[in-house]
């Protein structure tokens, strides 16, 4: 697992060079715009909703003493919840809508490494968009099911410390999952892709960890996160697919 996580992280090395060499920047224009405007929309929504959620949480405290302090704590907790949910929604919206633009990027990387005759499924833009929506809705629901109890664990003294780490790992896994599926959609059907990522969850987490950390970089991170993470995910996913293919041929 740790070895694969490191591979997923190391795959980011040389992504700028590969994107420039293959002339892939032109494919990232629309996804960059989608990423930026989605982030701005969710950011403003989070700013407005955090106070409302904080006020709702503060109603739990029915005593007058300490009410002010608890309201401050409630606002902070509300902001954390909104940020966590906002990041989840941001990723899945951007990844789903960017599918028709990211799949050609992955395909060009595949042709660069393995030649024009490398076999894969041919899919249309509509099929790619539908696949992206389907995968990301599924991942969104799964991620929320895991995120809600993790946030609740955060309220438990001492044990709650690990909730931030768990939350980061869960978000990283599903971010990497989405990036890997731009390649997998040409090789595997929906259910087969889910099994593939589950078997290679270390790669997904490694790729997603850098993805999540890049979002912390103001403006630039939001714009560049998709080009770099998709390129990194494509190179590693293709490597695993090629190794699996070679193994089958040798059996």
Residue 83 lies in a domain: no
Torsion of CA 128, 134, 135, 138, to 10 degrees: 170
Higher pLDDT, residue 4 or 56: 4
**Under 8 Å CB-to-CB from 3, ≥6 apart: which residues?**
202
Q: Please give the model's pTM, rounded to 2 decimal places.
A: 0.82
- Name which residue leads in pLDDT, 65 or 96: 96
**Domain-located, residue 214:** yes
Domain carrying residue 159:
2-42+98-250
Q: How far apart are CA 5 and CA 7, in angstroms?
A: 5
33: its two tokens: 């715009």
Residue 193 lies in a domain: yes
Domain membership of residue 125 (yes or no) is yes
Number of structural domains the chain divides into:
1
Q: Would you say residue 60 lies in a domain?
A: no
Give the whole-angstrom CA distance, residue 247 versus residue 176: 25
Structure-block tokens of residue 179: 């990036």
Digit-coded pLDDT (tens) for 73-123? 777 777 777 777 777 888 888 888 888 888 888 888 988 888 766 556 666
**pLDDT value for 251:** 40
pLDDT, tens digit, for every residue of 146-205?
988 887 787 776 776 788 889 899 999 999 999 999 899 888 888 899 999 999 999 999
């Amino acid at each position: 697992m740790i070895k694969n996580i490191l591979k997923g992280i190391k795959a980011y090395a040389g992504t700028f060079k590969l994107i420039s060499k293959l002339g892939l920047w032109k494919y990232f224009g629309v996804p960059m715009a989608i990423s930026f405007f989605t982030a701005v929309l969710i950011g403003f929504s989070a700013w407005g909703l955090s106070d409302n959620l904080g006020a709702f949480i503060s109603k739990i405290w029915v005593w007058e003493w300490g009410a002010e302090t608890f309201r401050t704590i409630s606002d902070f907790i509300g902001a954390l919840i909104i940020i966590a949910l906002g990041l989840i929604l941001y990723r899945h919206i951007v990844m789903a809508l960017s599918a028709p633009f990211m799949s050609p990027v992955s395909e060009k990387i595949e042709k660069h490494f393995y030649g024009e005759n490398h076999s894969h499924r041919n899919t249309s833009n509509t099929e790619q968009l539908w696949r992206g929506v389907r995968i990301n809705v599924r991942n969104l629901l799964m991620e929320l099911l895991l995120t809600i109890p993790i946030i609740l664990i955060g309220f438990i003294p001492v044990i709650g410390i690990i909730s931030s780490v768990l939350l980061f790992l869960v978000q990283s896994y599903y971010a990497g999952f989405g990036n890997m599926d731009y390649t997998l959609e040409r090789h595997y059907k929906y259910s087969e892709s889910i099994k593939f990522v589950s078997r290679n969850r270390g790669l997904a987490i490694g790729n997603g960890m850098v993805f999540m950390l890049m979002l912390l970089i103001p403006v630039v991170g939001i714009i560049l996160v998709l080009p770099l993470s998709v390129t990194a995910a494509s190179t590693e996913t293709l490597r695993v697919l090629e190794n699996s293919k070679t193994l089958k041929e040798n059996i």
